[in-house]
Structure 1
Amino acid sequence: MRRNKICGILNLTESKSAIDPLTRHRPIASLPFCSRYRLIDFPLTNLTTAGVDTIGVFTHDNLRSIYDHVRSGKEWGLDSIYGGLFFFSDPRLDRRANRYSAEGDLLNYYNNIEFFDKSESEYTVVMGTRMLCAIDVQAILRHHIEQGAEVTVVYKSMENIDNDDQNTACLTIDEDGRVRGLKSSVLHDKTDHVYMNMEIYLLKTELLTKLIRNGVAENEHCNLSDLLHQAIIALPSNGFEYTGYMKNIHSVRSFYEANMDMLHDSNLLALLKGSQHIHTKVKNEAPTFYSRSSDVTDSLIANGCIIHGEVAHSVIFRNVLIEKKTVLNSSVVMQGSSIGSGAELHYVILDKNVRIEPNTKLIGTQANPIVIEKNSVISRIVEGDFTRLTNIGKSISEVDSKQSSKDFFHHY
């Protein structure tokens, strides 16, 4: 590696249980977004646009989907002689757990601490993937140097925060921009004005490695995020306010809302068409085919689809088939799924390779969209009783496939 002023850390040990079943077989970083992207595309673009050419990806499970999407990092200019993309996984951590491991992830950083030494970087920026944003990392660095802080943490000034996420913290910041306190968002009222911690930190690499070594000596079962929370309270730390579009992907509802947000031009332009172009894995597909019977309004549809039915206010990924007389409204349909003739779907998230058979009716709500797990088949409800499908959110994916034929839900 050659000397660069900044190296990047993607901390993928993120709590994902509230997004199940979408994260049952993938980390948050691999979640599909906005008809063609993955969430990991955004921090990778944020870093490489700022000239960061050495990035360490620290994770604890489900690396296959990350490898398949990122590969050598070519799309982000990371397949070079100098620097590159480096993956670090700790086999001690429970790969099957859909939550933080009791072991913590700090030891993974300690065991791979030579990464920081070999990067020869003066500063390190740490970020995850669940805070969806397009941020200027060089602006954070300039602010950090100007303020002379030990640690700079990025925050978003917000009203009406989702206070049901115990893994999101809010900062107390004084009039000089100094961080004076930190507490969980669940301790705030929903209507409070808060400074949400976006879990993006910039500090000197030497300080970070010192914190990691000291942290492991005191408690090797700690998480890096907890260590950084302690650091911004114990050390002179400054806040950097991010004013662009941001969404905290911490639940099925927030994931759904983020996709729906992209149907508004202002949000789409702010996130995808701003000062930096978001890079992703390139897939060459034929243009989408719209038949004479199709009726599409206010939707984002990727290439490779075949549309015969009615689509409104929806986000559709590649290679999706929508048959005639189908009604799809306010829904997210991921890659390779098909919806049979006469089906009606409202407020639904279909994961990859789902098959909706003809004349099926799925009706969720905006607050509780129905989620269908990938590789599933949803067949016609024999008795026409739709009450089990309404307002049940993710639980639809948990129906036992061995139940009677009246239970409509089964797996390949």
Structure 2
Amino acid sequence: MAKVIGLVNLHSDIELKGLTERRPVASVSFLGRYGIIDFVLSNFSNSQIDNVGILIKEKPRSLFKHMANGNAWNFNSKRGGVSLLYDEKYANNNMYNHDINNILENIAFIEKNKPDYIVIAPAHIITTMDYSEVVEAHRKSGADITMVYKKIKNADERFIGSDYLKVKNGVVEAIEKNKGNAKNRAISLETYVFSREALLKLLKEAQNVSAFFNLKDILSYALDEKKIDAYEFKGFADIIDSFESYYRVSLDFLNIEVSTQVFKTNWPIYTNTNDTPPTKYKKNAEVKNVFVANGAIIDGTVNNCIIGREVKIGKGAVVKNSIIFTGAEVKPGAVVENAVIDKDAIIQNKKEIKGTPEAPLYVKEGDKV
């Protein structure tokens, strides 16, 4: 049986407004109780890949806290677990702080484990992908590298700015940017499979070409020289690459047709659990179409929202189409619509907090409004 390890690649230029001011995208709260990284980690766990390294780019504190001892994701600790791989050497140098340098700085992770294959996947693209199937297709193909893509029919609206693949007879011929000028695209899911030898060779080639090359750069550069296979993924995939897309994707999960594609009995999504009491619904609570995490206390009207742990919604308060993070409080009589309220913020003096679906309003962590 082939030995496979995973790398979660957090080296992206994605910012989610104030949500990523002090934390990476990977540890941003999602659906009230998860971190965004939980989905890719659960994919590795469910794919029986038990040895996973996380390539951390920046702001590691909240990610360290979220990961704790790494046991929450059901990895077999006898065969591996989670390793946090931080490129401290280049952490404060944007041009050199990329995924290739991170892998090279932590090359002992690969050398120690001696894998046959390595799967590299991002955290900000949410999928329910069985990596073992991709690895098997890669093994049979004899290709140097396999890139995973998904055919979408609304590329003029979604995945704008993402890479898409030009594929012919199952082989990648070109990698280009989706500018939203066509509906049908084979969108790259930034998920790759390499043999150990192929990855190490590619890293060496990248160093010889440009010290500033990241993994995407060298893959595009190597297309003429290497056989890069394309693997079509047909399951759920969506992207969080902006504050607006975070808001949209989060609220999309309130639609049962979306959430049931991800939360399946045979594909659990793991996360750290918290020792908090059940949610308390008081006399005036009216709640409809809402994800509510443990420990919340609700005495107002909440509609089409995501409510995090230990959130308080006061008597007569109205909260619609909004995401409320852990420990935040909406005081009695306040109105919140189309907003993202970060951790421990309090809505008390400004009685109406309203954004729009296209431009949701953001309240920073700990602010009193």
Please give the TM-score of this superposition, normalised by the length of structure 1: 0.85
Give the equivalent residue in structure 2 for 1:72. Answer: 69
Count of equivalent residues: 368
From 6, 11, 35, the equivalent of 1:13 is 11
In the aligned structure 2, how far is the partner of 1:376 from the partner of 1:208?
A: 46
Give the equivalent residue in structure 2 for 1:109. Answer: 103
Indicate conservation of the 8 Å contact 1:60/1:93, yes or no. Answer: no
Unaligned runs of 5+ in 2: none
How far is 1:298 from its partner?
A: 0.8
In the aligned structure 1, how far is the partner of 2:224 from the partner of 2:303?
A: 47
Give the equivalent residue in structure 2 for 1:225. Answer: 216
In the aligned structure 1, how far is the partner of 2:289 from the partner of 2:172?
A: 42
In the aligned structure 1, how far is the partner of 2:246 from the partner of 2:351?
A: 24
How far is 1:91 from its partner?
A: 2.4
SS at match of 2:90: coil
Unaligned runs of 5+ in 1: 379-412
| Structure-2 change in CA distance of 1:348 and 1:268 (3 Å) | same
How far is 1:93 from its partner?
A: 3.1
SS at match of 2:20: coil
From 148, 154, 159, the equivalent of 2:153 is 159
Alignment partner of 1:63 is 2:56: no
The amino acid that maps onto 1:184 is K
Alignment partner of 1:140 is 2:131: no
Give the equivalent residue in structure 2 for 1:88. Answer: 85
Give the equivalent residue in structure 2 for 1:390. Answer: none
From 264, 270, 276, the equivalent of 1:279 is 270
From 319, 333, 338, the equivalent of 1:347 is 338
In the aligned structure 2, how far is the partner of 1:126 from the partner of 1:329?
A: 38
Q: Deviations over 1:6-35 (max 9, x none)?
A: 110111111123x12111111111111112
Q: Deviations over 1:171-202 (max 9, x none)?
A: 1112x22211111112x41x421111110001
In the aligned structure 2, how far is the partner of 1:283 from the partner of 1:102?
A: 38
In the aligned structure 2, how far is the partner of 1:303 from the partner of 1:276?
A: 22
The amino acid that maps onto 2:77 is S
| Structure-2 change in CA distance of 1:155 and 1:251 (3 Å) | same
The amino acid that maps onto 1:24 is E
Give the equivalent residue in structure 2 for 1:185. Answer: 178
Indicate conservation of the 8 Å contact 1:104/1:220, yes or no. Answer: no
Give the equivalent residue in structure 1 for 2:348. Answer: 357
SS at match of 1:215: helix
Give the equivalent residue in structure 2 for 1:36. Answer: 33
SS at match of 1:192: coil
The amino acid that maps onto 2:95 is A
Give the equivalent residue in structure 1 for 2:329. Answer: 338
Indicate conservation of the 8 Å contact 1:9/1:58, yes or no. Answer: yes
| Structure-2 change in CA distance of 1:290 and 1:31 (3 Å) | same
SS at match of 1:298: strand
Give the equivalent residue in structure 2 for 1:46. Answer: 43
In the aligned structure 1, how far is the partner of 2:76 from the partner of 2:266?
A: 23
| Structure-2 change in CA distance of 1:233 and 1:8 (3 Å) | farther
How far is 1:226 from its partner?
A: 2.2
The amino acid that maps onto 2:74 is G
Indicate conservation of the 8 Å contact 1:60/1:89, yes or no. Answer: yes
Q: Deviations over 1:86-138 (max 9, x none)?
A: 2222224355x8xxx22242222222222212111100000111101111111
How far is 1:233 from its partner?
A: 5.5
Indicate conservation of the 8 Å contact 1:364/1:370, yes or no. Answer: yes
Indicate conservation of the 8 Å contact 1:7/1:54, yes or no. Answer: yes
Alignment partner of 1:121 is 2:112: no
In the aligned structure 1, how far is the partner of 2:160 from the partner of 2:257?
A: 30
| Structure-2 change in CA distance of 1:267 and 1:166 (3 Å) | closer
Alignment partner of 1:303 is 2:294: yes
SS at match of 1:82: coil
In the aligned structure 1, how far is the partner of 2:314 from the partner of 2:6?
A: 45
The amino acid that maps onto 2:342 is D
Indicate conservation of the 8 Å contact 2:50/2:76, yes or no. Answer: no
In the aligned structure 1, how far is the partner of 2:29 from the partner of 2:156?
A: 22
In the aligned structure 1, how far is the partner of 2:2 from the partner of 2:269?
A: 22
From 193, 196, 203, the equivalent of 2:187 is 196
The amino acid that maps onto 1:41 is D
Please give the TM-score of this superposition, normalised by the length of structure 2: 0.94
